[in-house]
Amino acid sequence: MASVGPLLLMSYILISTVTISTSEIQSAHENAFLKKLKENKEKLTSALASGLKKTEDIKNVGGTCQTLIKDIGELMKGLSDDSSDIFKVAQSMVNVVPVVGSVFSLIMTLVIVIDNHANDKSLLKDIKEEFDRLDAKLDQYHMEQKWNIWAAGVYHKPELDIRLAWTEYKTLLGSLAGAKDDVEKKKHKQSFIEAYSKYEKAPREMGELLKKTGKSFINNLGDELAEHVKCHEKEILEYTFLILTLIIKGNMMNEYYYTLKDIESKARDDEMMNNVYEAMTAMFDIQKRCIANSMTYVLQDVKPLIDKSEKRDILAKEVWSFLQETYDRYDWMVVAFITKNSNHKIFKTLNKHVLTGFHNVSTQRITVAVARQVKGTHSKAQEVSKAIESCFRQKVPCYKVAETLSACAQEVKGIPGIPVSKTYTAVHAYTDKDNPHQSIEAQEANPPPKKPSAQTPYIYTGDCAGSGKFVVLIKSDKEMTEKDPCSKMDCGEKKRRGTCIPIEDMSLAMCQCNYRHYGQYCENDIDDYRKKLETEAATYRNIIIVKDSRVKNRK
């Protein structure tokens, strides 16, 4: 499938080159067209929404796009000559680009024609919004297809080879256990040597794919993985363990293969050891980069979740639940609001929502703002709450709340040298105090809860001048007081298991493990894992022995 962006740009350029006439003679046709569009508004937006639900199935994508092409063609009958020319340009692209690209061209035709001819832009907003959502969904679909193509080819081959070889290896061990004499054992060993020779390079290939750099026709497996799972840490860790398992299994079989062929050497051992270490180092770098750039993927994840048909408080809750589950090392705060009501740059008093410390994801009508902080204990919440309170001896308008907090020199009692400005992550001020449209599971710091929980985040809620309220998300102790995120993280440095590495500009750190150790805190030893794999093979061998003895006893 062709990339969405270039197709959209190309269609826009081609369509835009056609001059749209606005003469009085044509106006009757255009008004009739716009009337027909409005009459078919639900049909068109329903078709687009249907496309959103079906993008995971390529057959349905094609069918949905063809239906849309037909619908748009019907709607554009009776257009003025120039507008019909636009349609013809877009329609001609159906034979040039894939079906998804051609439907983008036709939708863009609608957007341009309506934008130039309609005074009422509500229909345009609807179509643009549905188009944006479809665009995001198809971008995601395109990325998944790209991954599937690569994974089915270059990346899948060494994995499949190692899995097949492991079956051969276990079969050999079982055959050796059941062999009648040395002649039969020798026969089985020779058979394994011949069968395994084509798999011997698989673990090296897996390691090389992780180290691909510079110009190459082969993509870097680690980078592709990161894009494929959108840097979701849980999945990165699962793939890390999968890769580790495959390479260790491959190395175990190679050691045995080299012994059978009598070609073992220190150089081969060193190569296998380095392959494991370099693969784990590559995956560590990927995970570190993913954490540092995770907000990019967060915003990509949020956009397809925005649905204007949902109530904004429900939308905020759904986005919050997704983020809590997917990016669970953080506490999240989410606000959903109508874009135009809180997008004033000059007349800030008109904004119904004033947000500081948030990242915005906007559609034509709805914006979802997200803020996060690293999870941790919250033993200082009450002291922070009192310090914040002292900053507002006089109430200020909602749009000045964040500015007032930032300028407040009040220090927090019990935390020397920490001013109020260093104690919170995000501020949400809203003029409609009954409808904050925000989602966060936090305890109110003032007054303190009857049953406080050290791991639950805290908020401070205050009143704006006139009307409205504001909410301050209080940082965890870790983010407020820990200058070095490695200070309380045990990576086994004393036992030489690993080293703690801080992540720049974040109150987070990771363990970079030394060779033979792996895991979140380098708590696991590769040798222990090798023993587990050997036990797996030995168990299979023992099953063969038991079966063989039963057969002999029956005779």
Domain membership flag for residue 274: yes
Which of 214 and 527 is assigned the larger pLDDT?
Answer: 527
- The two structure tokens encoding residue 253: 């079989």
Judge whether 135 and 4 are in contact, CB under 8 Å.
yes
Number of H helices, E strands in the chain: 19, 13
For tokens 């927090």, the residue is 412
Domain membership flag for residue 458: yes
Q: Check residue 341 and give its pLDDT.
A: 84
| Pair 259, 162 in one domain | yes
Q: Check residue 553 and give its pLDDT.
A: 47
| Pair 347, 253 in one domain | no
Q: How far is 176 from 544, CA to CA, in rounded Å?
A: 9
pLDDT confidence tier of residue 426, bands split at 50, 70 and 90: very high
| Pair 84, 223 in one domain | no
Q: Over the stretch 43-69, which tens digit does the pLDDT of each residue have? A: 555 555 555 454 444 444 445 555 555
| Pair 416, 327 in one domain | yes
- Per DSSP bridges, beta strands 524-525 and 443-444 are unpaired
Of 101, 120, 139, which residue constitutes the final position of a domain?
Answer: 120
Nearest to 425 by CA among 453, 460, 391: 460
Q: Check residue 198 and give its pLDDT.
A: 93
| Pair 447, 374 in one domain | yes
| Pair 159, 271 in one domain | yes
Q: Give the residue-averaged pLDDT of 339-366.
A: 86
Q: Check residue 89 and give its pLDDT.
A: 44
Q: Round the average pLDDT of the chain to a whole number and report it.
A: 75
Q: Over the stretch 214-228, which tens digit does the pLDDT of each residue have? A: 554 455 677 777 777
Domains: count for the chain: 4
| Pair 276, 373 in one domain | no
Q: Check residue 134 and give its pLDDT.
A: 58
Q: Give the residue-averaged pLDDT of 382-400.
A: 92
Q: Give the residue-averaged pLDDT of 235-242.
A: 84
| Pair 213, 114 in one domain | no
Highest averaged pLDDT of the listed ranges 139-148, 150-159, 532-541, 544-553: 150-159
> Which residues are CB-contacts of 316 (< 8 A; sequence separation ≥ 6)?
334, 335, 336, 368, 437, 438, 439
- The two structure tokens encoding residue 36: 């027909």
Judge whether 410 and 419 are in contact, CB under 8 Å.
yes
Domain membership flag for residue 554: no
pLDDT confidence tier of residue 10, bands split at 50, 70 and 90: very low
- The two structure tokens encoding residue 277: 């270490």
- The two structure tokens encoding residue 448: 């303190």
| Pair 432, 513 in one domain | no
Q: How far is 367 from 360, CA to CA, in rounded Å?
A: 7
User: Which amino acid is residue 62, in one-letter code?
Assistant: G
Domain membership flag for residue 145: no
Q: Is the pLDDT of residue 266 over 50?
A: yes
> Which residues are CB-contacts of 537 (< 8 A; sequence separation ≥ 6)?
169, 170, 173
Q: Check residue 80 and give its pLDDT.
A: 45
Q: Check residue 298 and give its pLDDT.
A: 92
pLDDT confidence tier of residue 395, bands split at 50, 70 and 90: very high
Of 29-38, 235-244, 316-325, the poorest mean pLDDT is in 29-38
Q: Is the pLDDT of residue 481 over 80?
A: yes
451: DSSP letter: S
Q: How far is 516 from 507, CA to CA, in rounded Å?
A: 28
Judge whether 102 and 94 are in contact, CB under 8 Å.
yes
- The two structure tokens encoding residue 541: 């061998």
Determine the angle formed by the axes of helices 202-210 and 156-178, rounding to 10 degrees: 150
pTM over 0.75: no
Q: Check residue 46 and give its pLDDT.
A: 59
Half-sphere exposure (Cβ direction) of 291: Cα atoms closer than 13 Å: 24
> Which residues are CB-contacts of 137 (< 8 A; sequence separation ≥ 6)?
51, 52, 55, 304
Of 68, 99, 120, which residue constitutes the final position of a domain?
Answer: 120
Domain membership flag for residue 141: no
Q: How far is 206 from 247, CA to CA, in rounded Å?
A: 7
| Pair 338, 283 in one domain | no
Sign, Cα dihedral of 72, 130, 111, 115: positive
Sign, Cα dihedral of 289, 422, 425, 408: negative
Domain membership flag for residue 128: no
| Pair 169, 115 in one domain | no
Which of 123 and 475 is assigned the larger pLDDT?
Answer: 475
**Residue ranges of E strands in 146-250:** none
User: Which amino acid is residue 155, in one-letter code?
Assistant: Y
Q: How far is 158 from 131, CA to CA, in rounded Å?
A: 40
Q: Give the residue-averaged pLDDT of 27-36.
A: 52
- Exposed/middle/buried for residue 499 (C-beta within 10 Å: 0-12, 13-18, 19+): middle
Q: In what order do the strands lie in the sheet with 330-338?
A: 359-362, 366-374, 330-338, 438-439
Domain enclosing residue 35, as ranges: 4-120
| Pair 350, 367 in one domain | yes
Q: How far is 514 from 283, CA to CA, in rounded Å?
A: 13
